[in-house]
Chains A and B, each alone.
Chain A
Amino acid sequence: DTAVSQTPKYLVTQMGNDKSIKCEQNLGHDTMYWYKQDSKKFLKIMFSYNNKELIINETVPNRFSPKSPDKAHLNLHINSLELGDSAVYFCASSPQGDRGYTFGSGTRLTVV
Chain B
Amino acid sequence: RKEVEQDPGPFNVPEGATVAFNCTYSNSASQSFFWYRQDCRKEPKLLMSVYSSGNEDGRFTAQLNRASQYISLLIRDSKLSDSATYLCGSSWGKLQFGAGTQVVVTP
Contacting pair A106 B43 (CB below 8 A): yes
Residues on the B chain within 8 Å of A94, using CB: 95
Q: B89-107 vs A: 1/0 string, CB under 8 Å?
A: 0010111110110000000
From A42, A90, A99, B49 is in contact (CB under 8 Å) with: A99
Contacting pair A98 B91 (CB below 8 A): yes
CA distance A108 to B93 in the complex (A): 27
Residues on the B chain within 8 Å of A103, using CB: 43-45
Which residue of chain A has the shortest Cβ distance to B48 in the bound complex?
A100
Q: A33-59 vs B: 1/0 string, CB under 8 Å?
A: 100000011111100100000001000
Name the distance in Å between B103's Cβ and chain A's nearest Cβ: 14
Q: Does A79 contact B (CB under 8 A)?
A: no
Contacting pair A41 B99 (CB below 8 A): yes
Q: Does B25 contact A (CB under 8 A)?
A: no
Contacting pair A102 B46 (CB below 8 A): yes
From B31, B32, B87, B93, A43 is in contact (CB under 8 Å) with: B87
Residues on the B chain within 8 Å of A40, using CB: 99
**How many residues belonging to B are interface residues under a CB distance threshold of 8 Å?**
21
Residues on the B chain within 8 Å of A105, using CB: 42-43
With contact pairs A98-B31, A100-B34 given, residues A48 and B43 touching in the complex (Cβ less than 8 Å): no
CA distance A41 to B49 in the complex (A): 22
Contacting pair A100 B42 (CB below 8 A): no
Name the distance in Å between A101's Cβ and chain B's nearest Cβ: 6
With contact pairs A100-B34, A104-B43, A105-B43 given, residues A45 and B94 touching in the complex (Cβ less than 8 Å): yes
List, sorted by A's number, 13 A–B pairs whose CB atoms are closer than 8 Å: A43-B87, A43-B100, A48-B94, A56-B93, A90-B43, A90-B44, A98-B31, A98-B93, A99-B49, A101-B46, A101-B95, A103-B44, A103-B45
List residues of A whose CB falls within 8 A of some B CB: 33, 40-45, 48, 56, 90, 94, 98-106, 108
